[in-house]
DNA sequence: CTGAAAGCGCTTACAG
DNA sequence: CTGAAAGCGCTTACAG
């Protein structure tokens, strides 16, 4: 490593030593002043804090973490974020964690197989906590996190592991609400448009929806497997309507993006939404409200999910050994827009 | 700090000391083995590297950075990311940097005023580099970065400072292409729908578009100030068409999201796109290709912008003092879809 | 080519 | 309540 690689010493950061010398105190005392639980004379503490602020002293977090074994870093793992729901979660979560003095190290894996490698790299930075957004993690990777002492929180996607920490919408309840809503509107032939089969969100919404329909005494909804959470998948799914035993009069799609694609696919078939088929999505992303789409959908309780996650993060960062716990937030309201319509009694 | 806060020692990471003892070598030799430029007997190095892999040794990056003054961290600052263009950039950039062994610390500031605070916090982690995405930074914050020895790269948004590093699309050229395209289609009464007035992207697209129109001998385009890069802004902008001296026959919107809102606004006025007004966007985000929108637009050269940024990042991380340099990438092709239409000669 | 020693910037027992 | 000393996990002159 050559001299050029070194940052020029002229703009050396101020260290505890500098601050201590400046104040004529020992390094120990100065350091203690920054820890509320440490014992220092109140007057001394005040002096130190004031002077620190004045000359711009900030403890080097790397030196700190070498000793405390805590990094104030939370690793955020994201994979597929074509759903606009995720960027919002990502940035808001980051902003909220910053307020708590936690910093976010972002790890992105476009291909799912790469998630494990990415997590490995992340662990090198000893995050106090890892949050998994919209991604699947191999159980090996989860294991690795736990061995490294970094608990994982799964956000909006559960792995089903007993020991896992998670925050998610109560998707079963969401599915139930949609079934009730559509049946109350007079629909009889329901369809569920499924997305990524392994996603718990997909599985749970389907479960709530289908089981509720049966409970209400109508035929079990038919299911079309779109395969993923994307516009294209939704669009393609619509083409399979013809293969169904009978044309449905209402469809619940795994999320908004799928719904928007599905609707366009339905229309390309010469059918009308909502006249022939009512369509409901899930998430209530911003574009669902655009006049072009005017999508009836279930609102994701994002504010509460975020608040719970942040609180949970704070707790787990302080107690990495806490037993697995999954928070299920009740879904937001069903927002009725232009893609659903009452059916006449027949 | 209580004992509970400490991670249990049972899963202590393996350190150089452990590895050295295991190998019966000195810590110095072991450490050197990991630096290709350091002098170690090839056989020794091989032994160390193999054993390290076997017992899972990875150097503690915090201890390393304490000495080397380099962190392998790049700070990524984002503000408004409602434009789907940004999440893509964010995750792809992160993935690409990971490949180079650089990690991304994400800083998010929903409110622009908070960006400075966020940057301050970020600087505490001594990033080797800061990348500013879609955000404005006060010159004070930029100054602070440079004093901390962390060069900044502005991505897709230039501040106009002489010393700045930047990577951006050549937006002036993009604007020119749109003007040429619309004029060649026979349009005469052009309109520019402006977004955030201080964004260089907005300013440059407008400049290229308007100046080219004049060069081509038609009336200078009228301008409607939408005010921001959002659907709502575009939608509201359309309502101001009535205030114009004459109704335009073609509009170039600052970006795709604005265009999509604008089109819906135009339609709500009872006008047709493209029969009455042709509309062109900028970015070619995924939804521009959706049948609902079928938006004619200029493709953002995102692959090249990303590649250049990553290369630039590598360079600046190695030489923070490099003089300011702005890379302007030629815009991608204009993608013709359903929102533009040839006019009859009159 | 290798090892012992110093030191990066902190925190925290341990004495006083 | 405060200070001197040890030590976190590394890298890197300095000797040999």
Q: Which of A69, A101, A147, A144 is nearest to A321 (CA)?
A: A147
Q: Say which residue, B80 or B208, is predicted with more confidence.
A: B208
Q: Tell me how far apart the alpha carbons of residues B212 and B207 are, in angstroms, rounded to a whole number.
A: 8
Q: Which of A283, A334, A330, A326 is nearest to A304 (CA)?
A: A330
What pLDDT digit, counting tens, does each position of B295-331 carry?
Answer: 999 999 999 999 999 999 999 988 888 899 999 999 9
Chain B residues near residue A5 by CB distance under 8 angstroms? 68, 70, 318
The mean pLDDT of B121-129, rounded to a whole number, is 91
Q: What is the pLDDT of residue B301?
A: 97
What is the mean pLDDT, run by run of 10 residues, along chain A of 346 residues? 36 87 94 94 94 92 93 90 87 90 87 75 91 80 85 90 90 98 97 95 97 97 96 97 94 98 97 97 97 97 96 89 93 98 80
Q: How far is the CA of B99 from the C1' of C11 (A)?
A: 34
Interface contact flag, A121 B106, Cβ < 8 Å: no
The whole-angstrom distance between A145's CA and the closest CA on chain B is 11
Chain A residues near residue B149 by CB distance under 8 angstroms? 7-8, 11
Interface contact flag, B8 A149, Cβ < 8 Å: yes
Which nucleotide C1' is nearest A27 CA? D3
The whole-angstrom distance between A92's CA and the closest CA on chain B is 8
Q: What is the pLDDT of residue B148?
A: 86
Q: Are strands A152-155 and A129-133 parallel, antiparallel or unpaired?
A: parallel
Name the protein residue, with chain letter, whose CA is nearest the C1' of D11.
B67
Is any atom of strand C within 7 angstroms of residue A13's beta carbon? Answer: yes
Which nucleotide C1' is nearest A61 CA? C10
Band the pLDDT of B184: cuts 50, 70, 90: very high
Q: What is the pLDDT of residue A11?
A: 61
Chain B residues near residue A6 by CB distance under 8 angstroms? 69
Looking at chain B, which residue has its C-alpha nearest residue A62? B62
Whether B16-67 and B171-299 share one fold: the answer is no
Of A5, A103, A108, the CB nearest to B95: A108
- The CATH classification number of A71-169+302-329 equals 3.40.50.2300
Q: What is the pLDDT of residue A112?
A: 61
Fold classification of A171-299 (topology level): Rossmann fold (3.40.50)
Domain ranges of chain B: 16-67, 71-169+302-329, 171-299
Interface contact flag, B94 A84, Cβ < 8 Å: no
Q: What is the pLDDT of residue A82?
A: 82
Q: What is the pLDDT of residue B339?
A: 98
Band the pLDDT of B2: cuts 50, 70, 90: very low
Mean residue pLDDT across chain B: 91
- B16-67: what CATH class? mainly alpha
């Amino acid at each position: 490593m050559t001299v050029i690689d070194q940052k020029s010493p002229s703009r050396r950061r101020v260290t505890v030593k500098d601050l201590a010398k400046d104040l004529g105190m020992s390094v120990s005392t100065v350091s203690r002043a920054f820890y509320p639980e440490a014992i220092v004379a109140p007057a001394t503490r005040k002096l130190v804090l004031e002077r620190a602020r004045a000359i711009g002293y900030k403890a080097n977090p790397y030196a700190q973490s070498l000793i405390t074994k805590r990094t104030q870093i939370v690793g955020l793992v994201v994979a597929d974020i074509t759903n606009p729901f995720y960027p919002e979660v990502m940035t808001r979560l980051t902003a909220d964690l910053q307020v708590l003095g936690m910093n976010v190290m972002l790890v992105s894996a476009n291909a799912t197989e790469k998630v494990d490698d990415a997590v490995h790299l992340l662990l090198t930075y000893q995050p106090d906590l890892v949050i998994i957004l919209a991604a699947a993690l191999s159980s090996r990777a989860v294991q690795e996190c736990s061995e490294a002492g970094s608990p994982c929180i799964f956000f909006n996607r559960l792995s089903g592991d007993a020991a896992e920490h998670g925050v998610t919408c109560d998707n079963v309840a969401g599915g139930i609400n949609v079934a009730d809503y559509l049946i109350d509107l007079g629909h009889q032939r329901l369809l569920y448009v499924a997305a990524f089969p392994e996603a718990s969100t997909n599985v749970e919404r389907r479960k709530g929806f289908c089981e509720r329909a049966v409970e209400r005494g109508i035929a079990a909804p038919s299911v079309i497997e779109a395969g993923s959470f994307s516009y294209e998948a939704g669009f393609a799914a619509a083409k399979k309507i013809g293969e169904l035993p009978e044309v449905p009069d209402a469809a619940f799609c795994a999320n908004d993006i799928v719904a928007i694609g599905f609707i366009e696919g339905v229309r390309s078939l010469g059918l009308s939404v909502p006249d022939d088929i009512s369509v409901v999505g899930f998430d209530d992303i911003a574009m669902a409200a655009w006049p072009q789409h005017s999508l009836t959908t279930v609102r994701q309780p994002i504010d509460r999910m975020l608040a719970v996650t942040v609180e949970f993060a704070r707790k787990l960062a302080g107690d990495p050994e806490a037993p697995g716990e999954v928070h299920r937030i009740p879904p937001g309201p069903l927002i009725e827009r232009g893609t659903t319509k009452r059916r006449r009694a027949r």
